[in-house]
Amino acid sequence: MDAIPANASKVVQTATARVHDVVKQRILNGHYQADEYLRETSVANELNVSRTPVREALRELVSEGWLEAIPHRGSRVVAWTAKDAREVFELRLVLEPLAVRLASTQISKPCFTYLETLATQMESLTEEVNTNAESRNGIASLNHEFHRTLILASNNQRLANLLENVVRTSVIHRNFGNYDLANLRRSMRHHREILEAIAAGSPEWAENVMRAHLLAAQALHVPHTNTPSG
Amino acid sequence: MDAIPANASKVVQTATARVHDVVKQRILNGHYQADEYLRETSVANELNVSRTPVREALRELVSEGWLEAIPHRGSRVVAWTAKDAREVFELRLVLEPLAVRLASTQISKPCFTYLETLATQMESLTEEVNTNAESRNGIASLNHEFHRTLILASNNQRLANLLENVVRTSVIHRNFGNYDLANLRRSMRHHREILEAIAAGSPEWAENVMRAHLLAAQALHVPHTNTPSG
DNA sequence: TTAGTCTTTTTTGTATGCAATCTTCGTTGT
DNA sequence: ACAACGAAGATTGCATACAAAAAAGACTAA
Query: Does residue B10 carry a pLDDT above 90?
Result: no
B45 Cα to chain A: minimum distance (Å): 20
Beta strands in chain B (DSSP E): 37-38, 67-70, 74-77
A70 in helix, strand or coil? Answer: strand
Domain borders along chain A are 15-77, 82-221
pLDDT number for residue B230: 53
Cα–Cα distance for residue pair A99/A156, rounded to 1 Å: 8
Would you tell me the crossing angle of helices B135-152 and B109-127 to the nearest 10 degrees?
160
Question: Which chain A residue's Cα is nearest to B17?
Answer: A71
Q: Which residue has better confidence, A168 or A127? A: A127
Region A31-49 average pLDDT: 95
pLDDT at B4: 32
* Helix extents (H) in A11-156: 15-28, 40-47, 51-63, 82-106, 109-127, 135-152
Mean pLDDT (chain B, rounded): 89
pLDDT > 70 in chain B, percent: 89
Selected residue of B67, B68, B90 to mutate for chain A interface (largest A Cβ count, 10 A): B90
Question: Can you give the pLDDT at residue A10?
Answer: 37
* pLDDT tens, position by position, A189-201: 999 999 999 999 9
Provide the pLDDT confidence category of residue A68 given band limits of 50, 70 and 90: very high
Of the candidates A52, A86, A94, the beta carbon closest to that of B95 is on A94
Mean pLDDT of A44-59: 96
pLDDT digits (tens, 9 = 90+) for B149-199: 999 999 999 999 999 888 776 665 566 777 888 999 999 999 999 999 999
Q: Is the pLDDT of residue A229 over 70?
A: no
B13 touches strand D (CB under 7 A): no
CB contact under 8 A, B91 and A159: yes
- What mean pLDDT is predicted for residues B27-33? 91
Q: Out of A55, A87, A158, whose CB is closest to B91? A: A158
Residue B9: its pLDDT value, please? 36
Nearest to A56 among B10, B56, B88 (CB): B56
* Bridge partners (DSSP) listed for residue B67: B77
Q: d(Cα A90, Cα A67) in Å, to the nearest integer?
A: 21
Domain B82-221 has CATH 1.20.120.530: yes
Q: Identify nearest nucleotide to residue B70 by CA to C1′ distance.
A: D12
Distance from CA of A35 to the nearest CA of B (A): 18
Provide the pLDDT confidence category of residue A52 given band limits of 50, 70 and 90. very high
For residue B156, list chain A residues with Cβ-Cβ distance below 8 A. 86-87, 90-91
d(CA B82, CA B98): 25
Mean confidence (pLDDT) of chain A: 89
**Chain C bases closer than 7 angstroms to a protein Cβ:** 11-17, 21-23
pLDDT value for A173: 53
Average pLDDT over residues A107-119: 97
Q: Which residue of A13, A56, A90 is in closest CB contact with B156? A: A90
pLDDT band of residue A166 (cuts 50, 70, 90) is confident
> Do residues B65 and B164 lie in contact, with contact meaning Cβ atoms separated by under 8 Å?
no
CB burial string A141-177: b at 16+ within 10 A, e below:
ebbeebbebbbbbbbbebbbebbebbbebbeeeeebe
The span from the CA of A167 to the CA of A174, in Å, is 10
A48: burial class by Cβ within 10 Å (0-12, 13-18, 19+)?
A: exposed
pLDDT, tens digit, 9 for 90 and up, residues B66-86 = 999 998 999 999 988 899 989
Q: At residue B147, does pLDDT exceed 70?
A: yes
Q: Which of A8-22, B51-65, B88-102 has the lowest mean pLDDT?
A: A8-22
- Contact at CB, A71 and B7, closer than 8 angstroms: yes
Assign 3-state DSSP to chain B and report helix, strand, coil percentages, each to 5: 65, 5, 30
Which residues in chain B touch residue A52, judged by CB atoms under 8 angstroms apart?
Answer: 52
Helix, strand, or coil (residue B152): helix
Distance A79 CA to C16 C1' (A): 37
Q: Report the distance from CA of residue B157 to the C1' of nucleotide D11 in Å, as an integer.
A: 39
How far apart CA B188 and CA B146 sit, in angstroms, is 11
CA-based nearest residue in chain A for residue B71: A14
Most B CBs within 10 A among A19, A63, A75, A161, hence the mutation to make, goes to: A63
Strand partners, B75: B38, B69
* Among A5-19, A209-223, B109-123, the least confident range: A5-19
CATH number of B15-77: 1.10.10.10
pLDDT tens digits for A129-149?
Answer: 889 888 888 998 999 999 999
Contacts across the A-B interface (CB distance below 8 Å): 70
Could you count the other beta carbons within 10 Å of the beta carbon of residue A7?
A: 13
Q: Which band of pLDDT confidence, cut at 50, 70 and 90, is reported for residue A2?
A: very low
Distance A13 CA to D13 C1' (A): 11
